[in-house]
Amino acid sequence: MPGNKDISIEPLLNARTPAIAGYVASDQSFDGTSTTYFGFLDREGNWYIQQQVVTGNDIAWRYCKGGNGSYAASWIARVGLSYDYYNVVFPL
Q: pLDDT per residue over 66-90, tens digit each?
A: 987 799 999 999 999 999 999 999 9
CA distance 83 to 85: 7
**Alpha helices for the chain (secondary structure H):** 10-14, 71-76, 86-89
Is 74 in contact with 47 (CB distance < 8 Å)?
A: yes
Per-domain residue ranges for the chain?
A: 10-75
In this prediction, residue 41 carries a pLDDT of: 94
| Domain spanning 10-75, CATH class | alpha beta
Q: pLDDT per residue over 30-61, tens digit each?
A: 878 899 999 999 999 999 999 999 999 999 99
